[in-house]
Structure 1
Amino acid sequence: MGSSLLLQRGTIGTLALDHRILMGAMHLGIEGDRRELDQLAAFYEERVRGGAALIITGHAAVLPEGGGHGMFCLTVPDHRDQLRELAGRIRAAGGKLALQLTHTGRYARSAETGLTPKAPSAIASRLTRETPEAMTASDIADVKEAFAEGARFARDAGFHAIEIMGSEGYLLNEFMSPLTNAREDEYGGTLDGRIRLSAEVVAGIRARVGREFPVIFRMSGEDVMDGSTTPDETLALARALEQSGADALNVGIGWHESRLPTVGATVPSGAFAHIVGAVRAAVGIPVIGANRLHTPEAAEQALARGDMDFVAPARPWLADAAFARKIAQSDRDGLNLCLACNQACLDHAFGNPRKAVACLVNPRTGREAEPFVPSDAPIAVAVVGGGVAGLQAAKTAAERGHAVTLFEARDRLGGQFLLASRIPSKAVFRETLRYYAVALQRLGVAVRTGTVPSAEELKAFDRVVVATGVEPYVPEQLEGADLSLVCTYADILSGARAFGRKVVIVGGGGIGSDVAHYMAETAALGQDVNAFFAERGYAPASAHAVPFGITLVSRSEKVAKGVGPTTRWVLLEELKRRGVEVLKGYRCRAIDAGGVWVENEAGERFLEADQVVLCTGQRSRTDWAEWLQAGEGDAERLRPDVVGGASDAAELNAARAIRQAYELAKSL
């Protein structure tokens, strides 16, 4: 990356930046809680050490009704004091910090603020299921003053810049969109009217803080909402913001109500860069892009095409706090990539109840304030099992200075995580396994694949960590489960069994839904094949190479129950798109040579099938207990620490397994 465009110096207004890799705004869910200030500062300090050219904070509400749970609010004196301390600590660490000024508008929740939400017009929000009050002229004046005062505070508190949140369906974006702005005064109706508030907020801030303090405006490049702002209107907004005094535009994509995925793993890398590029072509100030620029390759390509001047990914900095430093050092092998799984970040931020943001692949995220120190008494540690729990336990133990040997019974590392990498949009899971493999090699961990250790071998170690994971659970009472047409999800995902033509999947939880997605997507003609024919004026004869059908049987009325709220709807849309038939509220009673008998309160049905895939749960692998029986004389000393699915198979949860392994290894 020595000649990388990402590594070239740049400027935003008067702010000189060492390179083009920023850290985009993330709401961590702990903001405003003084007890969490040290953790919040430690989180940012670690990203400063990781090379972020500029860090943009999560929301700081300019008015109470535009805030929410776990957010700073600039009308609260203690919150201002905390922000001053935060800005000072980041400056002391050598970093640059921008404060994001926000009013959430109709996305505010009265249960969190204690106030009625306010918006351009009294139009209900699908996200909150509340109808806001239409803002009065006095309310609008208050908002403009609050943004200007917030910018002045940020400048005087030691922040290097501000970012005005005008994207993602929040208040300023709501004024711009005809979907949410039905006003007939000077702040609605015409395009100029809908642009007015955003332009006046920028102008008011510029008048308050002068020309020297950098002002970034996060605007929506595409709302992804039918009937919302058009591309031409979006470019008109961009020009108006530049004329009003913005130093840079950060282009966001989509609202929280949008029905097109914008940040999940189903979205191709760099998918929205061309939208950012259209904005860049319309203005003369720097333009920043963020969505799905999660790899160095995608980010570099976006700059090379001229789509943007800076990149500001957010979640990749959760996965690897040294995201920019590793790019600068050309250490692609050592980069822990974001999976865009949303499980511990967006699902925590938007869940009910909400939780502090963490990261599936980086168990240190959210724990940066906790010391991580080498052991003062290194020991020999055996880790049995090479899934993600075992890999994390081995990595953390080795980082603390212990001598670690990892045993894996199979020929490849990865366990259930490797199986999951077969699911559409989850191929990126292999990047995590690559990261672990590189880390273990660099740390000197002895990795022994294709090996099941004996109790005698384990006697040579001071501590044993068992991370043997899970295996599919097949209900013993299920009649016909032993027939030849029956297999498990592991058989399908591992490639041990070929697909049938008329498939019934029993179990409509997360695994069953994923398997249905995998089978339907694999059986269909690939996008590259369809594109090949389409570009040459031909149409494939069928969407599938051979006749194929899938029925997913769910005992619950809620299919994919347990999948996080920010990704479940995407998965269900994919099943619908691929023609998977879903039966809700049905129990599998029996299997025979021709198919499956299912029943509910209304009666029973027979589903013809030539293949039945059981996704009926998992059970912990406990064969490790048998290995240790031979060492009864040393039973107490050989008693292992059990982590991951081997300790709890209630549901597959890689985030929990990795975090548990990390915590255990920290204590060895």
Structure 2
Amino acid sequence: MGKFNSLFQPLEVRRCTIPNRIVMTPMGTNFAENTGEMSFLHIDYYEQRAQGGAGLIIVENACVDYPAGSNGTTQLRLDLDSYIPRMFKLTETIHKHDTKIAVQLNHAGASAVAERINMQPVSASDLPNKKGGAIPRPLTKDEIYSIVENYAKAAKRAQIAGFDAVEIHCGHSYLISQFLSPLTNNRTDEFGGSYENRARFASLILKAVREAVGPFFPILIRISADEFLPGGNTLEDTLQLLEYFQEEADIIDVSCGLVDSIQYQIDANYLKDGWRTYLATAVKEKFNKPVITVGNIRDPKVANEIVESEQADFIGLGRQFVADPQWPLKVKEGRLDEIRKCISCNIGCSGHRIGLNRPIRCTINPSVNEGEAYKNQKV
């Protein structure tokens, strides 16, 4: 491991010891069954990343309120107990490789597509979450409190299913983000206006989830620390908002961007490795909590320097884990010349899934689902 020693130090969070600092961040795949159940193809996909040395895998967003909260064509669900058994099969499989596993819980809000959910999307207000987007219906207070309860129930199901933690998605133009952002929240009641009011929905969810899972179960939150849009939340705004809902969070997963600034959310290829890290550092310095930094991190030297210099506690890799599920193992063993580095083309991963509703693929990984099996093929 040598010069990359900082990447392979364990870190304990509550009673969960994460064996290294490399996190597979949540990223949709379209591998789930049409019913929202975890497929065996899906399990194989995540197992390859565990075998490759990930310290923590955060499974892609699971719906807590179907159909209104659904995102994507084949999204995982945790809104019913019937989804627990297959999720338990996943966690059992991942734990065989000494990897910890979390699942991200989410409600799409105005990001839901009306033609897929067969109803008008809901949101904080009647403001679309992107230019030209569908006009959503503002949630009533009763509906808001019902969704809070649904998050708590889904978190408990995740705990029963054997997950080591849950992540609450508070960014990227999904429902909680739609309450936090002034671009999508013009409410005049206790859920709109001031920082405290816009953060109230997130705060209620975090408190309800903590009550559901108890004091020893780690909770992560993912945020868009800077929305990078005129009139949207800046880093300074987010640091103010976090004061009202970070208390129950054990790790803060620091991302950025909304749908209309997606080149920062799903990094364009011209953005350098680790360019977002200053956002994570600012959150870490203010709240003194472990943070995950993300953003085009492909070079092990950059990743190790970030952790070694305490700019962030964890390195989040998304598309890089699609491109090469063995990135951690290759780094640890010094096989840097064997790493398939993500080129941030966003064709097979984001383009297939978001643009074409297909399962993800990868321009530089010929076998996303079969690991290194292609090497055994004879020409």
Pick the TM interval, shorter chain.
Answer: over 0.9
How far apart are 1:334 and its partner, in Å?
1.3
Query: Among 198, 201, 208, which residue is 1:204 paired with?
Result: 208
- Cα deviations by residue, 1:629-662 (Å, 9 ceiling, x for unpaired): xxxxxxxxxxxxxxxxxxxxxxxxxxxxxxxxxx
Q: Which residue of 1 aligns with 2:151?
A: 147
Which residue of 2 is the match for residue 5 of structure 1?
6
1:37 pairs with one of 36, 39, 50: 39
Letter of the aligned partner of 1:167 in structure 2? G
Distance 2:39 2:131 in 1: 29
Alpha carbons 1:169, 1:223 under 8 Å: kept: no
Aligned partners of 2:84 and 2:158 also within 8 Å: no
**C-alpha separation between the residues in 2 aligned to 1:127 and 1:109?**
14
Letter in 2 for 1:315: R
1:360 equivalent in alignment to 2:355: no
Which of 326, 333, 336 matches 2:330?
Answer: 326
- Tell whether the 8 Å contact from 2:255 to 2:276 is kept in structure 1 after alignment: no
1:12 Cα shift?
A: 2.6
Alpha-carbon distance in 2 for matches of 1:23, 1:297: 18
**1:433-484 superposed Cα distances (whole Å, 9 cap, x missing partner):** xxxxxxxxxxxxxxxxxxxxxxxxxxxxxxxxxxxxxxxxxxxxxxxxxxxx
Amino acid in the other structure paired with 2:62 = A
Q: Give the equivalent residue in structure 1 for 2:227.
A: 223
Residue 236 of structure 2: aligned partner: 232
Distance (Å, rounded) in 1 between the aligned partners of 2:130 and 2:241 = 25
> Does the Cα contact within 8 Å between 1:202 and 1:241 map onto a contact in 2?
yes
**1:155-198 deviation digits (Å, cap 9, x = unpaired):** 11101110101111111111111111101111111111011111
Q: Write the mapping of 1:86-97 to structure 2, written as runs, cut at 5 A.
A: 86-97=90-101
- Whether 2:27 is the aligned partner of 1:26: answer yes
Change (3 A) 1:77 1:210: closer
Give the deviation of 1:260 after TM superposition.
4.9
Query: Alpha-carbon deviation of 1:14?
Result: 2.0
C-alpha distance 322-259 of structure 1, shift in aligned 2 (>3 A): closer
Pairing of 1:174-213 with structure 2 (within 5 A)? 174-213=178-217
Task: Tell me if structure 1 keeps the 8 A contact 2:129–2:259.
Answer: no
Q: TM-score, normalised by structure 1?
A: 0.54
Is this contact kept in 2: 1:50–1:325, CA < 8 A?
Answer: yes
Tell me the CA shift for residue 33 of structure 1: 4.1
SS in 2 for 1:83: helix
1:103 aligns with 2:107: yes
Within the candidate set 45, 49, 56, 2:58 is matched to: 56
Distance, in Å, in 1 between the alignment partners of 2:33 and 2:203 is 29
Q: Give the corresponding residue for 1:346.
A: 350
Aligned equivalents of 2:153, 2:262: Cα separation in 1: 35
User: Displacement, 1:258?
Assistant: 1.1
- How far the C-alpha of 1:240 sits from its partner, in A, is 2.9
Whichever residue aligns with residue 53 of structure 1, its letter is G
Partner of residue 79, structure 1? 83
Distance in 2 between the 1:295 and 1:200 partners?
Answer: 39
Q: Is the 8 A contact 1:269 1:298 kept in 2?
A: yes
Distance 1:127 1:111, change over 3 A: farther
Per-residue CA deviation, residues 559-602 of structure 1 (Å, 9 max, x unaligned), is xxxxxxxxxxxxxxxxxxxxxxxxxxxxxxxxxxxxxxxxxxxx
Pick the aligned partner of 2:318 from 314, 336, 348: 314
Q: Distance in 1 between matches of 2:218 and 2:26?
A: 16
After superposition, the C-alpha distances for 1:500-531 in whole angstroms (9 at most, x for unaligned) are: xxxxxxxxxxxxxxxxxxxxxxxxxxxxxxxx
- Equivalents in 1 of 2:229, 2:14: separation in Å? 32
Note the C-alpha offset of 1:78.
Answer: 4.5
Letter in 1 for 2:6: L
Match of 2:258 in 1: 255
The 8 Å contact of residues 78 and 158 in structure 2, kept in 1 or not, is answered as: no
- Asked if the contact 2:63/2:105 (under 8 Å) is kept, the reply is yes
Say if 1:63 and 1:75, in contact at 8 Å, map to a contact too: yes
TM-superposition CA deviations, 1:406-432 (whole Å, max 9, x none) = xxxxxxxxxxxxxxxxxxxxxxxxxxx
AA of the residue aligned to 1:31: A
Using the TM superposition, give the Cα deviation of residue 30 of structure 1 relative to its aligned residue in structure 2, in angstroms: 1.6
Write out per-residue CA displacement over residues 124-157 of structure 1, whole angstroms, 9 at most, x where no aligned residue: 2336721110010011101110111111110111
Partners of 2:285 and 2:304 in 1: how far apart?
18
Q: Which residue number in structure 2 is paired with residue 290 of structure 1?
A: 294
2:22 maps to amino acid: I
Larger radius of gyration: 1
Comparing 252-261 with 280-289, greater Cα deviation is found at: 252-261
TM-score of the superposition, structure 2-length normalised?
0.93
From the superposition, tell whether residues 36 and 211 of structure 1 become closer, same or farther in structure 2 (CA, over 3 Å). Answer: closer
Contact 2:225 2:256 in 1 (8 A): yes
What is the rounded CA distance, in whole Å, between the counterparts of 1:264 and 1:98 in structure 2?
27
Alignment: residue pair count = 374
* Superposed CA RMSD: 1.9
2:211 maps to a residue whose letter is A
- CA displacement at 1:667 relative to structure 2: 6.2
Separation in structure 1 between the aligned mates of residue 77 and residue 245 of structure 2, nearest angstrom: 25
In the alignment, the residues of structure 2 paired with residue 13 and residue 226 of structure 1 have an alpha-carbon distance, to the nearest angstrom, of 38
Structure 2 residues without counterparts, runs of 5 or longer: none
Check conservation: 2:225, 2:234, Cα contact below 8 A.
no
Q: Which of 130, 133, 137 is residue 134 of structure 2 equivalent to? A: 130
Over 3 Å counting, the alpha-carbon distance change for 1:167 and 1:36 in structure 2 is closer
Distance 1:15 1:341, change over 3 A: same
Matches of 1:138 and 1:320, distance apart in 2 = 45
Q: Would the alpha carbon gap of residues 84 and 127 (structure 1) be closer, same or farther in structure 2, given more than 3 Å must change?
A: farther
Q: Please state how far the C-alpha of 1:63 moved relative to its aligned partner.
A: 0.5
Q: 1:36 to 1:138 in 2, by over 3 A?
A: closer
1:419-434 equivalences in 2 (<5 Å): none
Question: Take 1:128 and 1:100, find their aligned partners in 2: how far apart are those partners?
Answer: 28
Q: Which residue of 2 aligns with 1:376?
A: none
The answer to whether the 8 Å contact 2:18/2:99 transfers is no
1:273, distance to aligned residue in structure 2 (A): 0.9
Aligned residues with identical type, % of pairs = 27
Kept in 1: contact 2:170–2:224 (CA 8 A): yes
Flag the structure with more relative contact order, 1 or 2, with Cα contacts below 8 A and sequence separation at least 6: 2
Residue matched to 1:46: 48
Q: Counterpart amino acid of 1:196?
A: R
In structure 2, the partner of 1:620 is none
Mapped partners of 1:359, 1:292: distance in 2: 15
Distance of 2:284 and 2:214 partners within structure 1: 24
